[in-house]
C-alpha cells in the first residue's frame, strides 16, 4: 500500500507538468486574441486552435531538439520551457491568417497561374 505522501507528490508533479505545458500555450492564445481581435467568431476559434497547436508542437520541438531538455527537474527549467511554449505559439496565428488571406486573394485563379507567378518572381 502506498504512503499518502508519495501519492500527493505524484499528483503534485502531474499538476505541475500540466501547468507548465499548457499555461504557456493558453497565455499565447489569449495574448494573440487580445492584440489582434478577430472579425468573426470563426476566426477566433481558428486563432485559438492554430496558436495552441503551434505552441505545443513548435515548443516541444525547440525544447527537445534544440535545447535537449527531456525532463523538467527544476522550477527554473519549467519556467524556461513555459516561456518557450508561449513564444512558439505567437507566430502560429499570423501564419494561419496569412495563408488564408493568400488563398482568399487567389480563389479564382488556377494553380498553374499561381505557380507561374511565383516562378517568374525568382
pLDDT band at residue 4 under the 50/70/90 scheme: low
> How much helix, strand and coil, in percent to the nearest 5, is found in the chain?
80, 0, 20
What are the sequence ranges of the domains in the chain? 4-121
Q: What is the pTM assigned to this prediction?
A: 0.66
pLDDT of residue 36: 82
Under 8 Å CB-to-CB from 100, ≥6 apart: which residues? 46
Name which of 17-26, 67-76, 105-114 the model is least confident about.
Answer: 67-76
pLDDT tens, residue by residue, 8-50 = 656 766 777 777 677 778 888 888 888 888 888 888 888 888 8
Confidence of residue 111 (pLDDT cuts 50, 70, 90): confident
Band the pLDDT of 6: cuts 50, 70, 90.
low
Number of Cα atoms under 13 Å in the Cβ half of residue 114: 10
Q: What is the pLDDT of residues 46-69, one digit of tens each?
A: 888 888 888 888 888 888 888 887
Amino acid at each position: 500500500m502506498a504512503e499518502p505522501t508519495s501519492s500527493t507528490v505524484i499528483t503534485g508533479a502531474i499538476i505541475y507538468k500540466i501547468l507548465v505545458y499548457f499555461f504557456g500555450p493558453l497565455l499565447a492564445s489569449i495574448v494573440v486574441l487580445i492584440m489582434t481581435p478577430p472579425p468573426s467568431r470563426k476566426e477566433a476559434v481558428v486563432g485559438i486552435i492554430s496558436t495552441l497547436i503551434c505552441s505545443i508542437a513548435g515548443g516541444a520541438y525547440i525544447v527537445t531538439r534544440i535545447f535537449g531538455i527531456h525532463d523538467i527537474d527544476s522550477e527554473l527549467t519549467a519556467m524556461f520551457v513555459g516561456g518557450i511554449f508561449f513564444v512558439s505559439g505567437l507566430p502560429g496565428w499570423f501564419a494561419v491568417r496569412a495563408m488564408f488571406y493568400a488563398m482568399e486573394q487567389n480563389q479564382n485563379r488556377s494553380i498553374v497561374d499561381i505557380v507561374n507567378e511565383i516562378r517568374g518572381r525568382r
